[in-house]
Chains A and B, each alone.
Chain A
Amino acid sequence: MKAKIRKIIVQVDEIHQDGGKPVSPPTRRALAMAVIANPYAGRFSDNLDELIDIGEELGGLLGQRCVQALGMAPEQAQSYGKAAVVGEGGELEHAAALLHPKLGAPLRLAVSKGAALVPSAKKQGTLGTAIDVPLGHKDAAFVRSHFDAMEARVADAPRANEIVVAVVVTDSGRPHPRVGGLQVHEIAGQDGLR
């Protein structure tokens, strides 16, 4: 592996009740995070290939960890998202190198299909910085019931020379969606939008 991983963290959030009304079956969201060394910390580099390759490794690893944590087949995944928090020795572009060029393809393999753009967020931060990983339906970005976010945060990371990379995969939308819009059963799944 090119990634120098210090920690991997996996969280599962199961919501059984919201607003006084039971959620049946419970909605489930899994978040997998890797705390990695930033190979470009403390220096400016025009070329960010190393992080691009690390992004590819982590897309598969973190996507699989999420699916595994939910104990489901890849086909049961419904929405996804990704994010990165760059420690103060790095730059925002380092998050972009991890997230955008190559992370998506192996993540899509882990969740099967994935016609839609993977929603993303990035920021610079420090130990315990929280980032809200945006979520959207993996096959049709306009599915309104699946617009959501899951908070990602590692208490002791990122140190200055580290980056926290996060992937979220769910088996459901929000607990009680009722604001209309495109429904899951109406997905065409061709253009990634509808």
Chain B
Amino acid sequence: MMSELIELRRVFTHVEEIHHEFGPPAPQPLCRGAIAAVLRNPYAGSYHADILPMMDALNPLGVELAKTLCDAMGVKPERIQGYGKGAIVGAAGELEHGALWHVPGGYAMRELLGWKGERASYTQGGGGDKPTGQPGNALAIVASTKKVGPPGAALDVPMTHINASYVRSHFDAIEMRVPGAPHADELIVILAMSTGARVHARVGGLKAEDISQWNGLR
């Protein structure tokens, strides 16, 4: 890693193929994955007013994790339809340290999925794509959650559609935990992705193929 703030201790990847949940088997199994990096928390043990340097320092790690996860899932970025992120802070840290992941974690996945980071590409992405709901350059906010927890703590990482937060079929969550981590002085950052809707999604609402506003919401 580039920055001395980033000390990578462990990388844990989790990939699941869901064939069914007691209903009709999916023609193509749903693939969901999450990746967790266990890091030393440089701010553990005492209050630090300025923690922003860590936020920038996390950017390269985020991009690397996003790519590694996509590879582990064995799919091209174009197939990713849902995403989410999260953090688990060890006991000597503070919830705010987990919040450092909001920007680099979101940036990482949007970067991988083709978001250009400016208004023109929003318009272009929406206007240029067929209304299939995919791809649209990852327009939606990346759903997230975080907690302070002991080693082995589980985090239910929320997931939503990459282009429109209101797509109901893609509201989901993936449980992630790293046995034995985080230690008190550690911080776990997590990214999650999926290739589609819940395996038997059938509660209505906005469908991915009906995304029309291309504003990240609908």
A11 within 8 Å of B by Cβ? yes
Residues of chain B within 8 A (CB-CB) of A9 are: 14-17
Query: Contact partner of A8 among B16, B20, B72, CB < 8 A?
Result: B16
Residues of chain B within 8 A (CB-CB) of A69 are: 13, 15, 72
With A69-B72, A155-B175 known as contacts, the answer to whether A14 contacts B10 (CB < 8 A) is: yes
Q: Are B17 and A8 in contact (CB under 8 A)?
A: yes
A10 to B12, CA, bound (A): 11
Number of contacting residues on A, CB 8 A? 21
Number of contacting residues on B, CB 8 A? 22
Interface string of A149-172 (1 = CB under 8 A from B): 011010100000000000000000
Within 8 A of A (CB), among B154-185: 154, 175, 177-179
Q: Are A11 and B7 in contact (CB under 8 A)?
A: no
A100 within 8 Å of B by Cβ? no
A10 to B17, CA, bound (A): 9
With A16-B9, A17-B8, A151-B179 known as contacts, the answer to whether A7 contacts B14 (CB < 8 A) is: no
Residues of chain A within 8 A (CB-CB) of B177 are: 153
Q: Are A7 and B19 in contact (CB under 8 A)?
A: yes
A118 to B197, CA, bound (A): 38
Residues of chain B within 8 A (CB-CB) of A7 are: 16-19
Residues of chain A within 8 A (CB-CB) of B154 are: 155
Q: Are A13 and B18 in contact (CB under 8 A)?
A: no
Min CB distance B189 to A, Å, is 14
Q: Are B9 and A17 in contact (CB under 8 A)?
A: yes
Residues of chain A within 8 A (CB-CB) of B118 are: none
User: Is chain B's interface secondary structure helix, strand, loop, or mixed overall?
Assistant: strand
With A5-B19, A6-B18, A151-B179 known as contacts, the answer to whether A11 contacts B9 (CB < 8 A) is: no
Residues of chain A within 8 A (CB-CB) of B11 are: 12-14, 16, 26
A75 to B15, CA, bound (A): 24
B4 within 8 Å of A by Cβ? no
Most interface-central of A9, A13, A17, A150 (chain B CB within 10 A):
A13
B21 within 8 Å of A by Cβ? yes
Q: Are B9 and A15 in contact (CB under 8 A)?
A: yes
Min CB distance B17 to A, Å, is 5
With A15-B9, A16-B8, A17-B10 known as contacts, the answer to whether A10 contacts B15 (CB < 8 A) is: yes
A14 to B21, CA, bound (A): 30
Residues of chain A within 8 A (CB-CB) of B179 are: 13, 130, 150-151
Q: Are A15 and B10 in contact (CB under 8 A)?
A: yes
Interface string of A11-51 (1 = CB under 8 A from B): 11111111000000010000000000000000000000000
Q: List 13 A-B contacts (CB under 8 A).
A: A6-B20, A7-B19, A8-B16, A8-B17, A9-B17, A10-B14, A10-B16, A11-B12, A11-B13, A12-B11, A18-B9, A153-B177, A155-B175
Residues of chain A touching chain B, judged by Cβ–Cβ distance below 8 Å, are: 5-18, 26, 69, 130, 150-151, 153, 155
Top 4 closest pairs, chain A to chain B, by CB: A151-B179, A155-B175, A17-B9, A14-B11
Q: A10-B16, A17-B9, A69-B13 are in contact. List 19 more A-B contacts (CB 8 A).
A: A5-B19, A6-B19, A6-B21, A7-B16, A7-B19, A9-B14, A9-B15, A10-B72, A11-B12, A11-B14, A12-B72, A13-B11, A14-B12, A15-B9, A16-B9, A16-B10, A18-B9, A26-B11, A69-B72
